[in-house]
Structure 1
């Protein structure tokens, strides 16, 4: 049995490394589907990636996170920039500095039924979110990241 993860300490700024991972047609990118929160009762999408560990560079962190969560590697990895993400989750303030990259996943997640495994053992769905996402019901976090990719 998997033990529940300890609560996340949101009293500190966290450093993340995340990936905008386009599909082969470059019309959509892979995101995780996260559970409902007080702010997002329908859930939300989040880029693939996670926390930078002590002594680890952000480029190594994004590679490790993709390997651990998706059992994949990143081809054509390219740095996009940094975003500051200040948000609320279930009423609690969170603050992240996110190093953003783009690159293709190898293997690419399936069109349907794909998942990733979080560090706490939770299995989370992975879907392809259109870059043209005006009609998308779920918000994307960190907010504003796709604009960095589209500008390239």
Structure 2
């Protein structure tokens, strides 16, 4: 077993909902249950000395060019996972957020730019994650979505 990092990675994710859907970034690659498409809400690594709320506002601005308002803190979850026999460890603050500009809820697909890599974020029904039709990370987030929807 190889350790990906000697310390847990602190990060933050923002949950944006529209009806019974959640805005998630689509990614492709190796993950804890295989290789393929998987989804994750918008967010990122908390910088040393930066509060998780500030990180979240910064990440939405940097990755999507979108301003958000934080509604409330939902939960902190600890995610320990394995990819190709390497252990990863994240401690994730999760917030319920909303777009400052209401017209953005009408947009179906958002371009996500991070470090020269372009991916897309889109709305996916929470039911698709509950019924395991799609894969959502971090582990345990689907259960949390059931509690808030």
Which TM bucket (shorter chain)? 0.7 to 0.9
Gaps in structure 1 of 5+ consecutive residues: 1-8
Q: CA deviation at 1:76?
A: 4.8
Separation of aligned partners in 2, 1:67 and 1:138: 26
- Give SS of 1:66's match: helix
How far does the alpha carbon of each residue in 1:85-118 deviate from its partner, in whole angstroms, 9 at most, with x for none? Answer: 1112343211000000011234536214x22111
TM-score between both structures, scaled by the size of structure 1: 0.81
Contact preservation (8 Å) 1:80, 1:149: no
Gaps in structure 2 of 5+ consecutive residues: none
TM-score between both structures, scaled by the size of structure 2: 0.82
Which of these residues, 98, 108, 111, is aligned with residue 111 of structure 1? 108
Contact preservation (8 Å) 1:20, 1:146: no
Which of these residues, 78, 91, 95, is aligned with residue 89 of structure 2? 95
Structure 2 match to 1:15: 10
Q: CA RMSD in A?
A: 2.0
1:84 aligns with 2:81: no
Structure with greater strand percent:
2
Structure with greater helix percent:
2
The number of aligned residues is: 140
Structure 2 match to 1:32: 25
